[in-house]
């Protein structure tokens, strides 16, 4: 597997995205998010996504250059219409608008519609938490989904992820999870690596449990219909399903992005971003002391057999980030070949990177 550093991965993405029609500024925003996902170990949201984005540009689902417009601008809430631009571009604009406003109001909400796949939610909440804010961000995918409702066999919902982050010393505690058993991209990574997936992630078209990632996608040439992803929670999957439904309503209806149905373009995201300025409620020093006391309390628990350390949410990503900065970021051979194919497809060279 080839190995790259972050600047190299960013440059690879910038060249391909510009070749596909993005401006340099748009390409660099998207490239930063893709490389950042690879850096923290979420390869499902890294350069693996380039083919999807090039496909969507060609099909008109992503519209580079579209204006991001503020269509609602109230004292503590705004709604953005991304015009079909990259989700990362729209989400970056949402943060840009929200952070100064939350300093004024103490809390601020942004809803986004008409934007495509925003990438890894934990990146945006992490950025906000590093600036002393509590952040929550959730997304629904109102287009053709890949997740079954509790007790169902048909794709009706998106993976509908949610992330929350709070400041922690000079870093952040970050929760970043789907309301489905897994993110679709993780199944795609396993498929490209030739690996099996855990039991409980996916069912085939007939509802049978499977560990073969190919069963999620089916095979049109062989007449095999695609399977689906299960809700989060295994035997308690009604909990993940219920949370997914609520996010579909808030992110989809309140933003105007739409709720799960088949007439919405693939990749469409409805976004809900909510921020609180911590220092409107307490001093940074008081907050930091209580959080550190809390972290120590959690980590002081007796450990189950085989567990070396209890980690806070997001700590795994922080450690992977440190390791990958030192050792480089390995890209699976299948992903790298797919990336080379996209470069050739849009007529750009990756030489010299």
Instruction: Say yes or no: 177 and 267 in one domain.
Output: yes
Question: Tokens 């997914």 correspond to what residue?
Answer: 244
For the chain, helix, strand, coil in percent to 5 are 45, 20, 35
| Structural domain boundaries, residue 77 | 3-181+230-280+339-346
Task: Give the residue from 229, 250, 265 where a domain finishes.
Answer: 229
pLDDT digits over 188-225, tens only?
989 988 999 999 999 999 999 999 999 999 988 898 99
Range 226-243 average pLDDT: 97
Give the CATH number for residue 196.
Answer: 3.30.60.50
CB 174 within 8 A of CB 126: yes
Domain annotation covers residue 289 = no
CA 285 to chain centre: 31
Of 197, 229, 261, the domain-final residue? 229
Q: CA-to-CA distance for 249 and 111, rounded, in angstroms?
A: 12
Q: What is the pLDDT of residue 220?
A: 87
Q: Is residue 39 part of a domain?
A: yes
Contact partners, residue 55, CB within 8 Å, separation at least 6: none
| Token pair of 203 as six digits | 């069912």
Whether 211 and 223 map to the same domain: the answer is yes
Which residues are registered as beta bridge partners of 176? 163
Q: What is the pLDDT of residues 72-124, one digit of tens each?
A: 999 999 999 999 999 999 999 999 999 999 999 999 999 999 999 999 999 99
| Phi and psi based region of residue 347 (left: phi greater than 0; alpha: psi -120 to 50; beta: remaining) | left
Residues 203 and 167 in one domain: no
In a domain, 58, yes or no: yes
Identify the CATH number of the domain in which residue 62 sits.
Answer: 3.30.1370.60
Strands 107-115 and 77-85: parallel
Is residue 21 domain-resident?
Answer: yes
CB 138 within 8 A of CB 163: yes
Tally the domains of the chain.
Answer: 2
Q: Are 186 and 173 in contact (CB under 8 A)?
A: no
Does residue 205 sit in the same domain as residue 160?
no
- 219 and 166 inside one domain: no
34 confidence band (pLDDT: 50, 70, 90): very high
Task: Answer yes or no: is 329 within a domain.
Answer: no
pLDDT of residue 265: 84
Residue 186 CA to residue 9 CA, distance in Å, equals: 19
Instruction: State how far the alpha carbon of 157 is from the alpha carbons of 206, 231, 250, 252, in Å.
Output: 18, 9, 14, 11
Residue 248 has which token pair? 């579909």
User: Taking the complete model, does pTM exceed 0.75, yes or no?
Assistant: yes
- Distance CA(349)–CA(353), nearest Å, equals 9
Considering the domain architecture, whether residues 86 and 187 belong to the same structural domain is answered as no
The alpha carbon of 290 is separated from its chain's Cα centroid by a whole number of angstroms, namely 30
Phi and psi of 92, rounded to 5°? -65, -40
């Amino acid at each position: 597997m080839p190995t790259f550093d972050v600047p190299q991965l960013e440059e690879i993405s910038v060249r391909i995205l510009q070749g596909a029609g993005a401006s340099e500024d748009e390409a660099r925003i998207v490239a930063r998010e893709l490389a950042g996902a690879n850096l923290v170990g979420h390869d499902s949201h890294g350069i693996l996504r380039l083919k999807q984005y090039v496909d969507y540009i060609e099909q008109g689902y992503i519209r580079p250059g579209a204006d991001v417009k503020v269509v609602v601008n109230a004292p503590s809430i705004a709604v953005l219409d991304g015009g079909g631009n990259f989700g990362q571009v729209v989400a970056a604009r949402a943060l840009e608008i929200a952070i100064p406003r939350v300093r004024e109001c103490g809390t601020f909400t942004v809803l986004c519609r008409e934007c495509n796949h925003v990438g890894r939610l934990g990146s945006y909440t992490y950025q906000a938490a590093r600036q002393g804010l509590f952040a929550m961000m959730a997304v629904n995918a109102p287009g053709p989904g890949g997740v079954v409702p509790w007790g169902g066999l048909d794709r009706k919902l998106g993976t509908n992820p949610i992330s929350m982050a709070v400041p922690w010393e000079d870093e952040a505690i970050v929760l970043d999870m789907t309301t489905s058993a897994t993110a679709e991209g993780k199944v795609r990574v396993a498929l490209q690596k030739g690996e099996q997936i855990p039991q409980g992630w996916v069912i085939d078209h007939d509802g049978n449990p499977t560990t073969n990632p190919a069963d999620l996608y089916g095979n049109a040439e062989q007449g095999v219909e695609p399977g689906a992803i299960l809700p989060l929670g295994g035997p308690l999957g009604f909990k993940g399903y219920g949370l997914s439904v609520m996010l579909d309503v808030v992110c989809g209806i309140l933003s105007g992005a739409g709720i799960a149905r088949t007439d919405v373009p693939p990749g469409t995201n409805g976004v809900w971003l909510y921020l609180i300025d911590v220092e409107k409620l307490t001093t940074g020093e008081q907050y930091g002391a209580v959080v550190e006391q809390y972290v120590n309390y959690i980590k002081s628990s007796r450990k189950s057999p085989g567990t070396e350390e209890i980690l806070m949410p997001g700590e795994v990503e922080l450690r992977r980030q440190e390791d990958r900065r030192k050792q480089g970021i390995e890209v699976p051979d299948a992903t790298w070949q797919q990336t080379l194919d996209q470069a050739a497809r849009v007529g750009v060279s990756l030489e010299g990177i």
